[in-house]
Amino acid sequence: MQATIHITKLRLLPVAMLLLVGSAAVRAEFGDIVLNNVSEQQGMRPVIFQHWFHRIRFQCRVCHNELKFEMRVGATQVTMDQISQGRFCGACHNGEIAWTVENCDLCHTGKPGLTTKIQGGHETKGPGIW
């Protein structure tokens, strides 16, 4: 009987392990993007682009139509030369709308070794799935 109870408790362990993995893994905000096509090759940290920050200020159409960012991570090859010429990020990051390209450390904030991809969870904690 006692052993049965203990075995029942042990069955909770995988659930607990899952909880821990969920808590300890990358907990980037939904829609966060790592851009590292060229950053680290050029000796800079990867760029972390945060959708939540930008969508408060601009509708999707501004970057994904007006500025011609593809809606696929890494599909648009962005270089510092283009940004300096006012293309892509440089359309805003020019000292008029947002900070200038001299502020390298404000965009290149990622951990070394991250690969170009979209981050953030696909999980939900709400009643939408019930």
**Residues 23-42 close enough to bind another protein by CB under 8 A:** 23-32, 34
Q: Which of 1, 43, 61, 81 binds another protein (CB under 8 A)?
A: 61
Which of 37, 76, 78, 108 binds another protein (CB under 8 A)? It is: 108
Q: Distances in Å between the alpha carbon of 33 and those of 5, 61, 107, 121? A: 46, 18, 11, 12
To the nearest whole angstrom, how small is the minimum distance from the Cβ of residue 37 to another protein? 16
Rounded Cα gap, residues 20 and 41, in angstroms: 34
* 47 membership: H or E segment, kind and range: strand 47-50
Sites for another protein among residues 66-85 (CB under 8 A): 66-67, 71-72
Min. distance of Cβ 41 from another protein in angstroms? 17
Using rule CB under 8 A, residue 1 touches another protein: no
Dist. CA 23–CA 27, nearest whole Å: 7
CB atoms within 10 A of CB 49: 21
- As measured in angstroms, the least distance from the Cβ of 108 to another protein is 8
